[in-house]
Structure 1
Amino acid sequence: MGPEIAELARTAGTTMVTLMAGQAWESAREGLVSLWQRFQPDRAEAVGGELEATREDLLLAQRSGDTDTESELTAEWQARVRRLLVARPEVADELRRILAESSPALPESRPSVDVRLSAEVSGSGRVYQAGRDQHITER
C-alpha cells in the first residue's frame, strides 16, 4: 500500500489546503478533526489548532501574493496525512469519504501548468509528445 498511501496523502494535503481558502472549509475541517479524533484522539485538538494556523498563514500569503507559502503548506499537510496513514492504514477509507464529500466545493478551474517538451529525431524516427491526453492511430 506504499504508493497508494503516498498518492492519497498528496491528494488529501492538496485538497485540504485548497479548501482552506473557500467557504466549505468549516465542514472539511470538522471532518478532518473528527478523523484524527477517531484514530489518534490524543492529537485531535492539536491538529485542529494546526489546521486553523495553516489557514491563517495561507490567507495572509494569498493577500500578500506569496505563492511559495501555499506550496509549503501543502507539502506539510501531505506529510502529516502520510504519517497518519502509515501509522493507521485503516484511516484511508474514511479519508477518501471526507475528500469525496469536500470535492464538490473545489473550484472548477485548476491552475494552469507550464509544460515544455523537446525532442530530437534522426533518420526515420518519430516523436509523439503531449502535455495531456494523446491518441495515435497509425495505419
Structure 2
Amino acid sequence: MASTCTSCYIGFQRVLFNEKGWFNASCAIWPELEQKFEKADKVTLYRTLKTFQKNKLIHSIDDGTGSVKYALCHDTCECHPEDLHVHFLCAICNQTFCLNDIPVPTINLPNSFSLESVNMVVKGICSNCKK
C-alpha cells in the first residue's frame, strides 16, 4: 500500500508540474485522473487529492458543471479568500481556466456574517474557441 501511495504522489507531482499550472491544459476532473492513474485505486486518488489540498498544493474549483476540478496553487497561496482568483469557464469547449491575475473582489458582509469561502466563475468563450 505504501508503495502505491508513494507512486501516486510522484505521479501527481509529474502531472502537476508539467502542465503550466494545470493538470490537463485547463484543469483535471475525476475521470481524467482515473485514466492517468489507472493502476491506483479510487481511495488512493481521493486521499492524494485531499492531502494536496490540505497542504495547499492544489485548490478545487466548482465551476457549475457538476464536476469538481483541481488546479495547482502558487507558492504563496494559503487558500484564504484574499488569495483566491477568478476562474473562467468556456461555453464552447467547457474548459475551466485560472485567471491568476484577477483576484476575487472583496466581499463586505454584515458584521453578523463570517466568510468561509468564495468561488467566482466567469463564463464566456476562451481565446482558443474564438479563433
TM-score range, shorter chain: under 0.3
Tell me which structure has the larger Cα radius of gyration. 1
Q: Work out which structure has the larger RCO, using CA pairs closer than 8 Å and 6 or more positions apart in sequence.
A: 1
The structure that is strand-richer by fraction is 2
The structure that is helix-richer by fraction is 1
Q: Structure 1 length normalisation: TM-score? A: 0.24
